[in-house]
Amino acid sequence: MQLHLCTWIEVETYLQHNNSIIIPIGSTEQHGPTGLIGTDAICAEKVALGVSNNVKTIVAPTINVGMALHHTAFPGTISLRPTTLIVYVQDYVTSLAKAGFRKFFFINGHGGNIATLKAAFSQIYDYLDCLNLVNSDQVKCKIANWFMGREVYLLAKKLYGEEEGSHATPSEVALTQFVYPDVIKNAVLGEQVGKGHPIYGASNFRGCYPDGRMGSNPALATPEHGQQFYELAVKELTESYLEFIS
């Protein structure tokens, strides 16, 4: 059930028995020579829809642009500043809270969003209290990172070992291949790949990670692996969602 495919009457009826909503959030950023720029949003949305099918909860429109300033030296990357993303998420949640939603389960596909989202949640709680919104004390937000689930992590280690890396990983590329098998990208990957460097600004990042990969070998990805990651992520986040709303 997707919010943008509902009428307002359907949403009003839904809110009579359920005040929770799933919000996919990702990023629009480079993912190495073979990874789609929309990888993080694609993965978050696919997993969110899978969880929704299990729990019959509305899925909000995906937040496709996140905090990816360190990737902006690569063409195609679009980023919000942390302060902008905080306000964006605050306005997003406030609109839904005014309608009657109270539980906000963010399924996240981008590590760079984590700190900013947590800061946004603190600001949201304070802002809604200041609005004197009815039952504002019932508003709760949770971030669930599909790629950090225990079973997902163990599968990535089993399939790829140290070549999983930490960005443009074969696990996330595999999931996009499962979603979009007709747009699988192939490129010759150099044997040398940057790893272990701290993340600073965009130009420094590109200097340390010239092709965008961070210790990863996405050539190992397959659509079949992607289906396995999808099924594990949906299972784990379904359980996390049910625990959150209980």
Q: Which residues of the chain have pLDDT under 70?
A: none
pLDDT for residue 188: 86
pLDDT in tens, 226-241: 999 999 999 999 999 9
Question: Looking at domain 3-245, does it have CATH number 3.40.50.10310?
Answer: yes
> Which pLDDT score, from 0 to 100, does residue 190 have?
87
Task: Look at residue 77 in the predicted model and tell me its pLDDT.
Answer: 98
pLDDT of amino acid 180: 98
HSE of 171 in the Cβ direction (CA atoms, 13 Å)? Answer: 29
- Burial (Cβ within 10 Å: 0-12, 13-18, ≥19) of residue 196: exposed
Query: Residue 98 contacts by C-beta under 8 Å, 6 or more apart in sequence?
Result: 133
Query: So what's the pLDDT on residue 105?
Result: 98
E strands present in 54-138:
103-108
**What pLDDT, on the 0 to 100 scale, is given for residue 12?**
98
Q: Which residues have CB under 8 Å from 131's CB, separation 6+?
A: 94
Beta carbons of 195 and 201 less than 8 angstroms apart: no
pLDDT of residue 119: 98
